[in-house]
Amino acid sequence: MVLELKQEADRISEADYLQGELVSEIKHEFIDGVVYAMTGASKNHQRIAGNVFSGLKAHLKTTPCEPFSSDIKVKVGSKFFYPDVMVVCEDDSGNDYYSETPVIIVEVLSKSTRRMDETAKRLAYQTLPSLQEYVLIEQDFVDVEVCRRSEGWVSRHYFMGDSVTFESVGLILPVTDIYERVDNDDVTSFVDSLKLP
């Protein structure tokens, strides 16, 4: 999703932002008093986010942990973001519209969001004491990047034929499941290679 830059002078309070989101037809992220409008996502973006969410939902069905999709915000200090997918195991925010305690956050990357997801959001998310894993998934080619607190936030990359372990929730998900129905050259090449005699 693309963030539309607003003028620096358009600062509002956190309370006004949260109230506005309840009635707004479009979602906005909030960074230090500045509001950024979000645009819609592509079909591939939705497929990837949906595949990860479905895998987490089925796996966590009988646990206290719960996955949320991109309609629930995460609060990081004076910032609010809409992650594509996150899992919350203990939520003490007292708010129905955001959490401050995700254990895993997943963002699906595109050309327009990559810089924000890989820099500002990464740095912000890693300050959350509850967060154990940050996952970045490319939509235009196959690459699942997992950064774990237990490994000093060092990036590990997974590709077609690999399986990704989300250690924070004990889920192993094949990369092929993450990219199910996704239409890009890497996925097509992998599927074609399986058809060879």
Report domain extents, the chain.
Answer: 41-195
Residue 37 pLDDT more than 80? yes
Please state the rounded mean pLDDT for residues 73-95: 91
Backbone angles phi, psi at 133, to 5 degrees: -145, 140
Residue 6 pLDDT more than 60? no
Please state the rounded mean pLDDT for residues 78-92: 92
Please name the residues in contact with 69: beta carbons below 8 A apart, sequence gap of 6 or more: 49, 50, 53, 84, 85
Residue 149 pLDDT more than 80? yes
CA distances from 26 to 4, 21, 40, 44, 104 (A): 12, 8, 9, 20, 25
Q: Record the tokens describing residue 24, joined without a space.
A: 């707004």
Tell me, rounded to whole angstroms, the distance of Cα 26 from its chain centroid.
18
CATH number belonging to domain 41-195: 3.90.1570.10
pTM: 0.89
Tell me, rounded to whole angstroms, the distance of Cα 189 from its chain centroid.
26
